[in-house]
Structure 1
Amino acid sequence: MTTIWHNLKETVINTYNSLGLAWWVEIETQHPRCTYYFGPFLNSTDAKVATKGYVEDLEAEGAQGILVNVKRCKPDNLTIADDLGERIDRKVTPAFSGQI
């Protein structure tokens, strides 16, 4: 039953996301100057609950000047590194990852 619920929830989230109705956590950092998007989420409550972990991870990496916004959107890029002028897709893994 849990698997069925999980699959149904994923389908609804993906549908909401394709329509631009899903909720995302947008986190901007001043140093480094980046914007990160975490999600998608079915509702704002789920997104807000997840926010704490994302902020803790960024703080552990040394990020400073963290601003958080939970909103409905459909980001084109999940990470925008303004300092470097780069747009980074976190879903993409390096071709040589895992090799020694």
Structure 2
Amino acid sequence: MTAPVPATTTPRPGADDVLVGVDLGGTKIAAALVGTDGTVLSDVLEVPTPAHDGPERMLDAIAGLVADVVAAGTAPAPARGAPRSPSASAPPASSTPTAAS
């Protein structure tokens, strides 16, 4: 028999302040970092629910989404004042606006 894993580990500073919230729905699974007070602290990531693919695919989808949320939440933030990349919706600098007919 394998010894049980202790429920507590050495906490990292601030680690107790952040949880991963998962919303498992019939059409999508959503997840985000959430504070202990319920405040959403990150973007909400979503994937389609693979309900008809069996329980293993469901667990894989949930685990993958949680891993993505944690990875995104622990990525270094851009430096303050760093230039942002241009928006994909912004028109190219060489284009000129046209008047509406």
Short-chain TM bin: 0.3 to 0.5
Point out the structure with the larger strand share: 1
Bigger Rg, which one: 2
- Normalised by the length of structure 1, the TM-score is 0.32
- Normalised by the length of structure 2, the TM-score is 0.32
Higher relative contact order (CA 8 A, sep 6+): 1
